[in-house]
Amino acid sequence: MEGSAGERRSGTGAGMFPSRAAVDLTEDEWHRVIDVSLTSTLLFSQAAARSMIELRSGGVIVNVCSRAGLRPQPGMLGYSAAKVGVVSLTQTMAQELAYHGIRVNAVAPGPVSSGAQSTAHGPAVGGFATSAEWKASYYSRIPMKRGPQSRSDEKLAYLRRYLLPLKRH
């Protein structure tokens, strides 16, 4: 993305989460979730940073991590490992790219209503027989006792716009 005065802005975010107990997660599922959630973030962030360095424009990169990367949950081993990797990748790139005037941040929005969300927690993973039981347990730990509202995609977009301003701070 192009900001004012040639400032470059970029945001990443991808995720998939097969719902499997750790001992049942296949190597192919592991590689697929790491590729989609972590490797794609690395490659996109590298491309954005290289462009910003070449243009000497400074800029902002915003990656999407997840609460699951900060507080892992049963049945989400690959996804949790990938998202904690995004946290580390973001912190490392922030340190390395600061010299070039490039800020690197991550957001961990919590559950976002999506098609993938509805199939993330299959039967009998983490001791929950159904996705509805998982949601009830998950939301019971949230102070406001609610999950993603409609328009959660718009809220995430707003958060990204906040971190990807058109003007430098």
User: What amino acid positions are annotated as catalytic residues?
Assistant: 79
Other CB atoms closer than 10 Å to residue 81's CB: what's the count? 17
Backbone angles phi, psi at 111, to 5 degrees: -60, 135
Residue 76 DSSP code: B
User: Is there a contact between 59 and 48 (Cβ–Cβ < 8 Å)?
Assistant: yes
**Three-state secondary-structure class, residue 11:** strand
Torsion sign (Cα): 129, 82, 62, 7 = negative
Nearest to 112 by CA among 82, 61, 156: 156
